[in-house]
C-alpha cells in the first residue's frame, strides 16, 4: 500500500517556525533541520506501523539530530498519513495531542 503524506495546518506551521528559528541562528541549520524531518517522513512512509502507537491513535517518530518528534496518524482506508505535529521535545508533552484530528 502506498500512502500519501499530508500535514495538518498546525503541524505545517510548527515545521516552518522551527525551520525559520534554526535558520536565524545559523545559516544552513534550517536546511539541515528540513533534511532531517524529510528523511524521517520517508522512513515513516516505508513502514508507518513501525513506530509505537501512543494516545488518540497517533504514533511518534524522533527526528535524528534535533529535539523534535513527528506525531502522525495513519488512515489506512484513505491511504493517508496525517502529520499532526512537528513537536519540540522541550515543550509540555500534553500539548502533543490537543489538536483536533
For residues 90 and 95, the model is more confident at: 90
> Within its chain, how far is the Cα of 42 from the centroid?
11
- Residue 47, CA atoms < 13 Å, CB-side half-sphere: 4
Name every residue whose Cβ is closer than 8 Å to that of residue 11 and which is 6 or more positions away in sequence: 71, 83, 84, 85, 86, 99
Q: How many residues does the chain have?
A: 101
With a cut of 60, say whether residue 84 has pLDDT above it: yes
- Map out the domains of the chain as residue ranges: 4-97
With a cut of 60, say whether residue 92 has pLDDT above it: yes
Mean pLDDT of 5-21: 96
Summarised one tens digit per residue, pLDDT across range 40-61 is 999 999 999 999 999 889 999 9
Domain 4-97 has CATH 3.30.70.1560: no
Amino acid at each position: 500500500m502506498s500512502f500519501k503524506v499530508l500535514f495538518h495546518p498546525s503541524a505545517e506551521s510548527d515545521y516552518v517556525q522551527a525551520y525559520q528559528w534554526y535558520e536565524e541562528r545559523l545559516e544552513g541549520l534550517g536546511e539541515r533541520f528540513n533534511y532531517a524531518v524529510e528523511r524521517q517522513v520517508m522512513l515513516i512512509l516505508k513502514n508507518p506501523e513501525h513506530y509505537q502507537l501512543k494516545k488518540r491513535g497517533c504514533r511518534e517518530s524522533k527526528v535524528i539530530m534535533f529535539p523534535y518528534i513527528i506525531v502522525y496518524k495513519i488512515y489506512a482506508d484513505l491511504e493517508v498519513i496525517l502529520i499532526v505535529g512537528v513537536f519540540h521535545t522541550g515543550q509540555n508533552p500534553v500539548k502533543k495531542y490537543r489538536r483536533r484530528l
